[in-house]
Copies of this chain bind each other. A is one copy, B any other.
Amino acid sequence: MSAVQQNLEAASAKYSSTFTQGHLALPPSKQYLVLTCMDARIDPAAAFGIELGDAHAGASARDALRSIIISEQLLGTTEIILVKHTGCGMLTFTNKDAYEIVEKNLGAEAALELKERNLDFLPFPDLEKAVREDIDFIKSTKLVPDNVILSGWIYEVETGKTRRVV
Chain A contact residues, CB within 8 Å of chain B:
2, 4-5, 7-16, 19, 21-22, 24, 26, 28-30, 32, 38-41, 43, 45-50, 52-59, 63-67, 69-71, 73-75, 79, 81, 87, 89, 92-93, 98, 101-102, 105-107, 109-110, 113-114, 117, 119-122, 141-143, 145, 149, 151, 153, 157-164
A7 to chain B, nearest CB (A): 5
Which residues of chain B are near A121, meaning CB under 8 Å? 66, 69-70
A64 to B92, CA, bound (A): 19
Cβ of A24 and Cβ of B41 under 8 Å apart? yes
- Which one, B14, B114, B151, contacts A143 given CB within 8 A? B114
Which residues of chain B are near A81, meaning CB under 8 Å? 4-5, 8
A88 to chain B, nearest CB (A): 8
**Which 4 pairs show the lowest CB-CB distances between chains A and B?**
A11-B49, A19-B160, A16-B160, A28-B40
- Which one, B101, B141, B149, contacts A74 given CB within 8 A? B101
A160 to chain B, nearest CB (A): 3
Cβ of A119 and Cβ of B65 under 8 Å apart? yes
**Dominant SS among interface residues on chain A:** mixed
Which residues of chain B are near A109, meaning CB under 8 Å? 142
Cβ of B159 and Cβ of A66 under 8 Å apart? no
Cβ of B145 and Cβ of A106 under 8 Å apart? yes
Cβ of A58 and Cβ of B59 under 8 Å apart? yes
Most buried by B among A13, A92, A153, A160: A160
